[in-house]
């Protein structure tokens, strides 16, 4: 009580209580009436763990094993529908009815079936020299020589030689003096592979299973009026029906050749599935009711699961599941007339695609190793020395401003023009380095009661298609030996102080790049009921430890979390 009285007295000592907080335009008052000042207020925090979370509303899904020395390792698997690219399809040139009527069997036979999940890739070439930034020794110099053979990258592009290999054709003569290059095939396109975390050279097992589980769009427990939520604790083993692949692989980042090597597509994880399965399940079903509509097909085929295990070293992949597909290649026979006018039977090949573009798909997340014991101390202690945030099965923080309401009421009586209000989260470098944490690109602040973004986020007009909400902030800043995230909450505070808006608790979470839309897509947390977190938090394989409001280390005292107000005082 004594402490509270002193806090109130301190606030009241510098202001007359009959003056209200104003947003009066400065132009209507003499400038000498204003004095620029700043003040800080304490913030209290608590943590909320993410144990089970909705995962079916993200365009990016995880696959593999995430290593996190503080929050523990997590394994991620994918469950997905696969839809036909066309319904009542014809395999070969004749429908099943036409084959029966003509008494000619095209003998459609599956030769290969491939599960393909593209990597996220880019081909950014900042200096336009023909070599993408990922491999360019200097991506701002058009005359750079990345392979050191004496020929610039742009000259090699014009000559048709490889700017990454000094001797493109391997004849023992470097490109700068080789007058002829004996290349028989075009140079492959190069791609920068994004969103892989861990050892890209790791070997691991992949298992693809057919599931006897129907994925429905609408939730029957909510009168089929809301979308069905699928959660990270889904039990794959309970629904396995048939194994389509189970072998060790290693990722290949080269272009993929398809259709008898005549077409090349971007790098992807490519798994050879059991051709006999698709012979029986797909090709032999030509003309059947199971293939006649999307409803019939989904009830018939159900779903698949993609799992990984036995990593040589941890590797987590964020994959482009929107463009995931199964490519079924098959041969068939057809009748043609030869040059002599005789009818002959020839064998041709074709392919049919199953895709996941509009399909239900989600992640399962399993804690494969326990968190470090110190994590429990961080999230459960009342000392508030640290803030620990992580994506996936991690944690978010709840921030309370003006826990003492009398201090807030006193602030409302101040004769101030509020210029700026910030929350700055400083990275605890020692803890982050110790746990080898991978810092997120951005932090996100929302209303903890309803998960709505705070008004500063929604009103930030600086958003672009590539870098959004610059004024609102929350981006990682590296300054000398400090790393921090500054989040602007000026309008949020103005609403509380001037418009009597409710001083709600705020949820702090980490995420990757946000879209430029006002709304942030949300995911339900299964326990406790009704809580939500950003989808970007669910799919983020990042974590960090920040300096809390009450650090015990005196060296961190100046970096503690607090609410900073910058204001102009009216005399």
Alpha helix segments (H runs only) across 248-321: 275-281, 294-301
Q: How sure is the predictor about 528, in pLDDT bands with cuts at 50, 70 and 90?
A: low
Q: Which of 409, 343, 523, 334 is nearest to 7 (CA)?
A: 409
Q: How sure is the predictor about 235, in pLDDT bands with cuts at 50, 70 and 90?
A: very high
**CA Rg value for the chain:** 30
Token look-up 């995931």 returns: 324
Distance (Å, whole) CA 183 – CA 169: 6
Distance (Å, whole) CA 372 – CA 563: 30
Distance (Å, whole) CA 468 – CA 458: 11
Q: Which of 324, 302, 141 is nearest to 216 (CA)?
A: 302
Averaged over 134-142, what is the pLDDT? 73
What are 201-217's pLDDT values in tens digits?
999 999 999 999 999 99
Return the DSSP state at 189: P
Distances (CA, A) of 521 to 9, 55, 183, 243, 558: 44, 12, 49, 34, 35
- Is the CB of residue 447 less than 8 Å from the CB of residue 441? no
Token look-up 């039990």 returns: 235
Average pLDDT, whole number, for the chain? 84
What are 543-563's pLDDT values in tens digits?
999 999 999 899 999 999 999
H helix and E strand count, the chain: 11, 29
Task: Determine the 3-state secondary structure of 255 from DSSP.
Answer: coil
What are 6-38's pLDDT values in tens digits?
443 433 333 333 333 344 433 444 444 455 688
Distance (Å, whole) CA 21 – CA 549: 26
Burial bucket for residue 401 (CB in 10 Å: 0-12, 13-18, 19+): buried
The continuous run of DSSP H or E covering 475 comes out as strand 473-479
Model confidence, pTM: 0.85
Distance (Å, whole) CA 175 – CA 148: 10
Q: Is residue 304 scored above 70 in pLDDT? A: yes
Q: What is the pLDDT of residue 221?
A: 83
What are 341-352's pLDDT values in tens digits?
888 899 999 999
Of the two residues 448 and 304, the one the predictor is more confident about is: 304
Q: How many CA atoms lie within 13 A of 441 on its CB side?
A: 11
Q: How many residues does the chain have?
A: 571
Q: Which residues on neighbouring strands pair with residue 477, listed in sequence order?
A: 484
| Max avg pLDDT among 8-12, 15-19, 82-86, 441-445 | 82-86
């Amino acid at each position: 009580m004594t402490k509270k009285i002193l806090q109130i007295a301190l606030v009241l000592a510098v202001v007359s209580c009959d003056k209200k907080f104003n947003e009066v335009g400065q132009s209507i008052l003499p400038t000498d009436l204003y004095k620029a000042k700043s003040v800080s207020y304490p913030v209290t925090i608590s943590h909320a763990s993410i144990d089970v979370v909705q995962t079916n509303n993200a365009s990016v899904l995880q696959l593999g094993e995430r290593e996190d020395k503080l929050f523990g390792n997590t394994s991620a698997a994918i469950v997905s529908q696969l839809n036909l690219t066309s319904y009542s399809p014809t395999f070969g040139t004749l429908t099943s009815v036409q084959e029966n009527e003509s008494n000619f069997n095209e003998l459609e036979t599956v030769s290969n079936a491939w599960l393909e999940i593209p990597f996220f890739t880019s081909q950014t070439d900042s200096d336009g020299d023909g070599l993408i930034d990922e491999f360019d020794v200097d991506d701002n110099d058009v005359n750079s020589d990345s392979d050191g053979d004496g020929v610039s990258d742009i000259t090699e592009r014009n000559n048709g030689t490889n700017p990454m290999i000094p001797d493109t054709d391997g004849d023992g003569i470097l490109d700068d003096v080789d007058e002829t290059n004996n290349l028989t095939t075009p140079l492959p396109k190069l791609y920068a592979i994004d969103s892989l975390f861990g050892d890209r050279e790791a070997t691991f097992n992949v298992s693809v299973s057919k599931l006897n589980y129907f994925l429905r769009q609408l939730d029957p427990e909510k009168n089929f009026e809301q979308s069905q939520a699928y959660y990270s604790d889904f039990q794959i083993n309970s629904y396995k029906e048939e194994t389509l692949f189970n072998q060790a692989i290693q990722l290949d980042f080269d272009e993929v050749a398809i259709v008898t090597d005549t077409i090349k597509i971007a790098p992807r994880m490519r798994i050879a599935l059991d051709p006999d399965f698709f012979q029986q399940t797909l090709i032999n079903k030509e003309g059947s009711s199971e293939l006649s509509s999307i409803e019939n097909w989904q009830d018939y085929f159900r779903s698949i699961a993609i799992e990984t295990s036995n990593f040589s070293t941890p590797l987590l992949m964020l994959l482009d599941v929107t463009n995931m597909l199964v490519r079924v290649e098959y041969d068939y026979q057809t009748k043609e007339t030869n040059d002599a006018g005789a009818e002959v039977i020839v064998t041709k090949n074709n392919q049919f695609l199953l895709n996941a573009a509009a399909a239900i798909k989600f992640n399962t997340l399993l804690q494969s190793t326990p968190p470090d014991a110190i994590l429990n101390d961080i999230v459960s202690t009342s000392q508030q020395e640290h803030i620990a945030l992580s994506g996936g099965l991690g944690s978010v923080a709840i921030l309370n401003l003006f826990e003492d309401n009398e201090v807030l009421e006193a602030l409302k009586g101040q004769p101030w023009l509020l210029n700026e209000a910030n929350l700055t989260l400083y990275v605890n470098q020692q803890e982050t380095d110790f746990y080898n944490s991978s810092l997120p690109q951005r932090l996100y602040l929302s209303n903890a009661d309803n998960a709505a973004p705070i008004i500063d986020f929604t009103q930030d007009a600086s958003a672009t298609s590539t870098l959004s909400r610059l004024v609102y902030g929350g981006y990682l800043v590296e300054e000398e030996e400090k790393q921090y995230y500054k989040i602007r909450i000026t309008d949020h505070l103005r609403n509380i102080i001037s418009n009597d808006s409710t001083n709600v608790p705020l949820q702090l979470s980490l995420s990757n790049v946000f879209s430029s839309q006002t709304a942030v897509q949300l995911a339900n947390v299964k326990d406790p009921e009704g809580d939500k977190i950003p989808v970007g938090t669910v799919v983020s394989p990042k974590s960090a430890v920040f300096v809390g409001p009450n650090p015990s280390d005196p060296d961190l005292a100046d970096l503690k979390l607090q609410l900073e107000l910058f204001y102009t005082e009216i005399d």
